[in-house]
Amino acid sequence: MPDIHHFPLFLLSGLLLNLTPGADMLFIATRSAAQGARAGAMAALGVGAGCLVHVTAAAVGLSALIAASDMAFGVVKWLGAAYLVWLGIGLLRSRPAAGSPGAPANVGNHGVQPARLRTVFLQGVLTNVLNPKVALFFLAFLPQFVGPAAGGQGWAFLFLGVVFTVNGTLFNLGVAWVAARAHRRSAGLQRLALWARRLTGGVFVVLGLRLALASRV
């Protein structure tokens, strides 16, 4: 059986971490404001799926390998940094949609092709999967709530990671809904959404550069 300690404290810590603005929240809010709640929800689900990859990796020991191997950490770090910079540049190049001055492309809840939504989902997945800091976060955070019982640590890691991811995904779905609702309530927010995309693009470029220069600490 999983040997889990201080579960209420784990839930509280996870909630506080989810409330902290970061790249994931910016990505979800921007997608939701620019393309509607469905796109924001897909971004949130993609981020959650990416977290589950790291949770599973932590449970089977892959995160420990990344933490111990300079080569493994370096490869994943540079892939993640390159992806964040590429995504950021794409957002910085956002343009208003034709026929709607100041409105970003694909604004609204309708007219978004399924392939587009799949792309948003995959972007959310890759934003997390290609960031070794997420793997190291789970490796550092989860053991604080897992006991030393032999044979149960893997299941404890998996259980806590899934709980953390589900709670975070529910919160991010709320972020997507709020961002989409705020966008629909004022047409004047269309131009703001365009500049928000560009601002987020700049943030992603900075995050990518920081990730490229990050140490293993």
SS3 4: strand
SS (H, E, C) 106-165: CCCCCCCCHHHHHHHHHHHHHHHHCCHHHHHHHHHHHHHHECCCCCCHHHHHHHHHHHHH
Q: Mean pLDDT in the chain?
A: 76
Please report whether residue 7 resides in a domain.
no
- What pLDDT was estimated at residue 103? 35
161-208 pLDDT, tens digit per residue, is 999 999 999 999 999 998 888 765 555 556 666 776 777 778 778 877
Average pLDDT on 36-46 reads 92
73-96 pLDDT, tens digit per residue, is 777 778 778 877 887 888 788 766
Cα–Cα distance between 176 and 71 in angstroms, integer?
37
Please report whether residue 13 resides in a domain.
no
Instruction: Report whether pLDDT(212) > 90.
Output: no
SS3 35: helix
Number of domains in the chain: 1
Please report whether residue 185 resides in a domain.
yes
Please report whether residue 72 resides in a domain.
yes
Question: Which amino acid is residue 2, in one-letter code?
Answer: P
Q: Which domain holds residue 202?
A: 22-213
Greatest mean pLDDT among 4-8, 18-22, 75-79, 183-187: 4-8
- Of all residues in the chain, the percent with pLDDT exceeding 70 is 74
According to DSSP, residue 100 is labeled S
Q: Note whether 66 and 132 are within 8 A (CB).
A: yes
Instruction: Report whether pLDDT(137) > 60.
Output: yes
In the block, residue with structure tokens 């995160």: 63
Please report whether residue 78 resides in a domain.
yes
Average pLDDT on 118-139 reads 83
Please report whether residue 209 resides in a domain.
yes
Greatest mean pLDDT among 20-24, 68-72, 79-83, 96-100: 79-83
Please report whether residue 143 resides in a domain.
yes
Nearest 5°: phi and psi at 15?
-60, -45
Please report whether residue 5 resides in a domain.
no
Cα–Cα distance between 30 and 69 in angstroms, integer?
35
